[in-house]
Amino acid sequence: MARSTTVPRPQPTHEGARDYDDYDYQDEQGEHWGGRLLVEVLEVAVLTLVIFLAVRLLVQNYQVDGPSMQPTLYTSEYILVNKVDYYVGAPQRGDVIVFHFPLDPSKDYVKRVIGLPGDTVTVDASGIVTVDGVRLDEPYVNDHDNPYRPQTWKLDANQYFVLGDNRGDSSDSRDWGPVPRFDIVGKADLVYWPLNDVHILHDWSGIYGRVHP
């Protein structure tokens, strides 16, 4: 009768056993986790940049500097400027707008739109404004002093006539002429700082009701 023979299984050497026991699968998993973390960080960074650029295309904030728009706006107030309206439409009489100063585009100004393309605007020696022969009654004006000579402007296509509400202390279209459409950034809709003076800006569109559309 044949006898079965059991062949003993080779045992790892002591050094090999130690190497096997020391291998940590967490090391490999850690490498994968680090890669995933890097990808997630990059995704968040890209998403944040996209949101920032999208917001900048729609709205922008500005700080008021100077007395030319008092009492509507005061120095150091912060305003929120709506760009969307002018992507789909055009500035209207009475709008408070932010624009690049035509003589130095690196500077931004804030004024009120008085005349639209095609309008004839006259400012007399006493500061009274007429648009296409219609005299404006402007309750938002601080004073009607006119430090510039009386003059009449006929606005070309894509030109806007702007004035500060503080007429006696404002550098505006009476001084350097109309604002081209491409220099207009957007409509100032809201004062959001200081917090105790948060309010929506009135466009006073009714004041211009007697002027042709």
d(C-alpha 12, C-alpha 99), whole Å: 81
Which residues, listed in sequence order, are joined to residue 62 by a DSSP beta bridge? 79
Amino acid at 40: E
CB of 100 closer than 8 Å to CB of 185: yes
Task: Produce one character per residue of 153-181: b if its CB has 16 or more CB atoms within 10 Å, e if not.
Answer: bebeeebbbbbbbbbeebbbbbeebbbee
Neighbours of 87 (CB within 10 A): 10
What three-state secondary structure class fits 162? strand
Quote the tokens at residue 84.
């969307």
Select which of 4, 111, 154, 173 is catalytic.
111
Active-site residue, selected from the candidate residues 4, 68, 83, 187: 68
From residue 210, give the alpha-carbon distance in Å to each of 45, 153, 163, 199, 207. 52, 19, 19, 27, 8
* 173 labelled catalytic: no
Token pair of 16 as six digits: 């090999």
Residue 68 designated active-site:
yes
| CA 153/CA 119 separation, integer angstroms | 8
Catalytic residues: 68, 111
